[in-house]
Amino acid sequence: MTISERPWAAYYGPDVRPEIETASCRTIGDLIRSVAETYGKAPAFTTCLYNGMNGTLSFSQVDEMSDAFAVYLREVAGLNRGDRVAVQMPNCLSYPIAAFGVLKAGCVLVNVNPLYTAEEMAKQFADAEPHALVIVDMFADKVPEATKGHPIPNVIVTRIAEFLPKMPRGIVGLVQKHWDRSVKPIEIAHIRLPEALDVGRARRNENKIEVDAYFQDVSPDDVACLQYTGGTTGVAKGAMLTHTNLIMNMQQTMEMISVFKKGEEVALTALPLYHIFAFTVNLLGFYWLGARNVLIPNPRPLSNVKRAFENYKITWMSGVNTLFNGLCNEVWFTDSPPKHLKFASAGGMALQTAVARRWQDITGKPVLQGYGLTETSPILTFNPLGKVREGTIGIPLPSTDVICVDEAGVPVAPGERGEIATKGPQIMAGYWNKPEETANVMRDGWFLTGDIGVMDPDGYISIVDRKKDMVVVSGFNVYPNEIEDCLATHPGILESAVIGVPDDVTGEAVKAFVVKRDQSLTEADIRAHCKAHLTGYKIPKRVAFRDDLPKSNVGKILRKDLRTSETTQDAAE
């Protein structure tokens, strides 16, 4: 497909390049260094807690601290270029230090959801085989169980209030230790992050180490991140995202947004930075812009973000439909909406039209919806500012081709349904150690998304169905196979099937259909069992008991029939 065959280019702004030839930096390490040299002592990251206590690091401080961590990883922990480092923490000042340090060291960042159970952690660790783990102390008690079969030689522990001023840091520590007891004793050999930085600094100064040498040895096509996704089967797979993938996708996205001014923006990051959208746009994109990034460790309850809106002149924020809907129902937000906001971005799940309209009414600014996948770094399409088309995921980004294809892989006509396929510099290098899975989603250079869409003649795209059985709960992917596997381990369950059903709060909710083996089994029993093995958003919100489940001639449970019966029942009601 040539530029002339991209009808959507007519909707780009006058300063938007339809084709971005090269990445602005060779590697993310180069990007971090050049930005720090430009913005120096300006505030880069601020952690804002629910009570307003906060701490800030400048671009220079983050640069120096991530240098020290890179030296620690290479010279003290003994890691080499390409070794994996798992980072497992909520939004806090430690995250950019750890992530940037990993990338400067020439290592591969493995983002891990901090809410994972030990069982879920173990599966990801077994696949990625990290040589080091950086984890927040609140969840470090899960590490012994998670690493039983595959020990991680280097464990670095940090705190949610790390690098905040001494007084708020101490207050938070006392609350966590004695009041809510959210921090348990750590029963593994470890080093604290500040101590690791001190050791790294000493080694750097003693041996006159040039940190740039670590990432100058890295190729733009080397893997920067292993970002885990369920893909098409629900089995966790690490999408190999290269330095070029991530830098180009950051540039493609920022190219579409001409209202941002370098060195002047203030971004609110309530989405977790381990999520690929927040990683590419919030972390890399707004760092590149020289923006102040206000980090929210936990946006639940939504009152946790109130002080951030009050204390900082927020010009941009990202979120999922659930977040925007929730804020629109908070009196403190509707009574005093952010005055400096330019617009907001929605991703991770479908943005409901009613929510978008109400947000615009309250703030006077739009929510722009985009679309992408972990495998695409992640953004493929975006609604252009001032040219939003409700109910669509917008148009392809610069340097991105999108078509809809039939079952045979043949492009369908505009207005017809087909699987969304795409090409572009943001497409992953493949799945980590899974060549067959990679081959399943790549066809002649095109990545098959598994989503069914319709493209208008002028290039705007709408998602109309999901080829996959994936359920999206508040922007997080939930795969029925994983839930069903968990349910199958309960002795009181004969068989089960899981589907997604509409939910006013989370967009979709997990519903489990269960055939009892033990007639005394209750919904509470099922939820308790799942809670012991799964993250909270994966636990079935609704449970229906059935005498049997619909099956094909060969005995395969037919989820599609369950979805049809749900739709019919909803219509009848």
pLDDT in tens, 422-451: 999 999 999 999 999 999 999 999 999 999
Rounded Cα distance between 468 and 466, Å, is 5
Q: Would you state the torsion angle of the CA atoms of residues 526, 530, 536, 537, taken in this order, to the nearest 10 degrees?
A: -80
316 or 488, higher pLDDT = 316
Domains of the chain: 471-572 (3.30.300.30)
- In this structure, of 203-212, 379-388, 468-477, 498-507, the range with the lowest mean pLDDT score is 468-477
For the chain, give the mean pLDDT: 92
Beta-carbon contacts of 336 under 8 Å, excluding residues fewer than 6 positions away, are 309, 310
- Could you tell me which of 269, 271, 299 has the C-alpha nearest to residue 287? 269
pLDDT in tens, 367-426: 999 999 999 999 999 999 899 998 899 999 999 999 999 989 999 999 998 999 999 999
Q: Which of helix, strand or coil describes residue 502?
A: strand
Rounded Cα distance between 364 and 163, Å, is 36
Q: For residue 572, what pLDDT is reported?
A: 60
416 or 467, higher pLDDT = 416
- In this structure, of 217-226, 270-279, 367-376, 459-468, the range with the lowest mean pLDDT score is 459-468
Rounded Cα distance between 441 and 511, Å, is 28
Would you give the distance in Å from CA 523 to the centre of its chain?
31
Burial track 246-277 (b if 16+ CB lie within 10 A, e otherwise): bbbbbbbbbbbbeebeeeebbbbbbbbbbbbb
Q: Would you state the torsion angle of the CA atoms of residues 263, 267, 269, 270, taken in this order, to the nearest 10 degrees?
A: 170
Contact 464, 413 (CB under 8 A): no
- The token pair at 149 is 């079969």
Amino acid at 531: K
Q: Provide Rg for the chain, Cα atoms.
A: 23
- Could you tell me which of 321, 320, 270 has the C-alpha nearest to residue 504? 321
**Average of pLDDT values for 168-183?**
79
Site of tokens 């722009």 = 368
Contact 108, 225 (CB under 8 A): yes
Q: For residue 168, what pLDDT is reported?
A: 80
pLDDT of 233 higher than 70: no
Rounded Cα distance between 152 and 195, Å, is 19
Rounded Cα distance between 425 and 428, Å, is 8
Contact 186, 137 (CB under 8 A): yes
Count of Cβ atoms closer than 10 Å to residue 115 Cβ: 16
Q: For residue 3, what pLDDT is reported?
A: 45
Contact 73, 197 (CB under 8 A): no
- In this structure, of 4-8, 318-322, 335-339, the range with the lowest mean pLDDT score is 4-8
Count of Cβ atoms closer than 10 Å to residue 1 Cβ: 12
Contact 360, 411 (CB under 8 A): no
In percent, the amount of the chain with pLDDT more than 70 equals 96
Please report the DSSP string for 351-371 in residue order: PPHHHHHHHHHHHSSPEEEEE
Q: For residue 555, what pLDDT is reported?
A: 61
Q: Which of helix, strand or coil describes residue 520?
A: coil
Burial track 307-329 (b if 16+ CB lie within 10 A, e otherwise): bbbeebebbbbbbbbbbbbbbbe
- The token pair at 26 is 């060779």
pLDDT in tens, 90-138: 999 999 999 999 999 999 999 999 989 999 999 999 999 999 999 999 9
Q: For residue 231, what pLDDT is reported?
A: 47
169 or 130, higher pLDDT = 130
Amino acid at 160: I
Would you give the distance in Å from CA 567 to the centre of its chain?
30
**Average of pLDDT values for 514-530?**
95
Contact 515, 495 (CB under 8 A): yes
Beta-carbon contacts of 128 under 8 Å, excluding residues fewer than 6 positions away, are 84, 86, 110, 226, 228, 238, 432
Q: For residue 232, what pLDDT is reported?
A: 44
Site of tokens 């500040």 = 194
Q: For residue 571, what pLDDT is reported?
A: 59
Number of H helices, E strands in the chain: 19, 26
Question: pLDDT category, 570, cuts 50, 70, 90?
Answer: low
Rounded Cα distance between 492 and 525, Å, is 9
Rounded Cα distance between 105 and 97, Å, is 12
- Beta bridge partners of residue 200, listed in sequence order: none
- The token pair at 533 is 């093995």
Contact 93, 45 (CB under 8 A): yes
Q: For residue 553, what pLDDT is reported?
A: 58
pLDDT in tens, 272-300: 999 999 999 999 999 999 999 999 999 98
Contact 496, 526 (CB under 8 A): no
CA angle 159, 162, 164 (to 5 degrees): 145
- Could you tell me which of 256, 214, 274, 272 has the C-alpha nearest to residue 66? 214
Residue 94 phi, psi (nearest 5):
-65, -25
Question: pLDDT category, 200, cuts 50, 70, 90?
Answer: very high
DSSP tag of 74: I
pTM over 0.85: yes
Contact 442, 479 (CB under 8 A): no
Contact 453, 461 (CB under 8 A): yes
Rounded Cα distance between 308 and 477, Å, is 28
Q: For residue 2, what pLDDT is reported?
A: 43
pLDDT of 478 higher than 90: no
Rounded Cα distance between 319 and 317, Å, is 7
- Could you tell me which of 480, 489, 533 has the C-alpha nearest to residue 235? 480
- The token pair at 262 is 């370098």
Count of Cβ atoms closer than 10 Å to residue 372 Cβ: 25
